[in-house]
Amino acid sequence: MYCVFVHMNTFDIVSGQSTQERTRFVRRAVKKADRISRNLEKIIELSVRQNCDCRQEDIQRIFEYIDNCVNSAKAHLLPEPKDYPTSNEAE
């Protein structure tokens, strides 16, 4: 058996006083995240089929590729905070 990914709910993310632009971004981003999740589920389904030859090295390469893509997206969306000198260090 394989684990079914839990799909995100837009309304759980957008709360309170959200702008139209924020709601639009969250709605679109959640749809794309759900699509990624469904595609991962399809890879899992391929691995359990009798007529597919799923090997450990294949899975390793697939996850290396996915990890690189996720890290690239994180670097773009979650930039590192800049270290600003405190007032004591500036003197």
Domain, as residue range, for 72: 17-77
Looking at the predicted structure, is the pLDDT value of residue 67 above 90? yes
Give a yes or no: residue 85 inside a domain: no
Asked whether residue 71 is domain-assigned, the answer is yes
pTM exceeds 0.85: no
Average pLDDT over residues 66-82: 88
In a domain, 28, yes or no: yes
pLDDT digits (tens, 9 = 90+) for 2-60: 455 555 666 666 666 678 888 888 889 889 999 999 999 998 888 887 788 888 999 89
Backbone angles phi, psi at 30, to 5 degrees: -65, -40
| Number of structural domains the chain divides into | 1
Determine, yes or no, domain membership for 10. Answer: no
In a domain? residue 66 = yes
Structure tokens at 73: 């997206």
In a domain, 25, yes or no: yes
Residue 50: the pLDDT is 78
Is 5:40 a contact under the CB 8 Å cutoff? yes
